[in-house]
Amino acid sequence: MKVVIAGSASLQENIKIWIEYWNSKSKYSVLDYPKVIPQDNFDNLYPDVHKKFFKNITEADILFVANDRKKGINGYIGVETFAELGFGLAQKLVYGKNIKLILAYMPAKEVACYDEIVLWKKLGWIDEILN
């Protein structure tokens, strides 16, 4: 199964752990994950990196949100990651794609999209929260 990991590119050590986690499971392989884009060429590289990441979400069987602790907030989900999660959900709802949406952690109430995550989980749109 193809896995795309969404989350903060600034948490590379955590991303590496999640890549190992998914790649160590039988029949799972990580297709894409957040990468640091060099600041000196960010504006030129970002559009293609972003487009490729969203394209890979359309090819994934699992969109995994590696929402580790950031900015002192447990289960942090930033705007970019929430957009990616919303895109994965749109694949499921609009196109009937059989994609699993899995979060590493339930976000803290301080996370801006907390209420949406609670609702999406209640509606069965988020398949699993690992921790």
Q: What is the pLDDT of residues 37-77, one digit of tens each?
A: 999 999 999 999 999 999 999 999 999 999 999 999 999 99
Mean pLDDT to the nearest integer, 105-122: 97
Task: Tell me if residue 20 falls in helix, strand or coil.
Answer: helix
- Using the predicted structure, report yes or no on whether residue 131 has a pLDDT greater than 90: no
- DSSP for residue 41: G
Which phi and psi (to 5°) does residue 6 adopt? -105, 155
Q: Which distant-in-sequence residues (6+ apart) come within 8 Å of 50 by Cβ? A: none
| Secondary structure string (H, E, C) spanning 20-50 | HHHHHCCCCEEEECCCCCCHHHHHHHHHHHH
Mean pLDDT to the nearest integer, 14-40: 96
User: What's the CATH class of domain 2-129?
Assistant: alpha beta
> Rounded to two decimals, what is the model's pTM?
0.95
Cα–Cα distance for residue pair 24/78, rounded to 1 Å: 27
Q: What's the confidence (pLDDT) of residue 75? A: 96
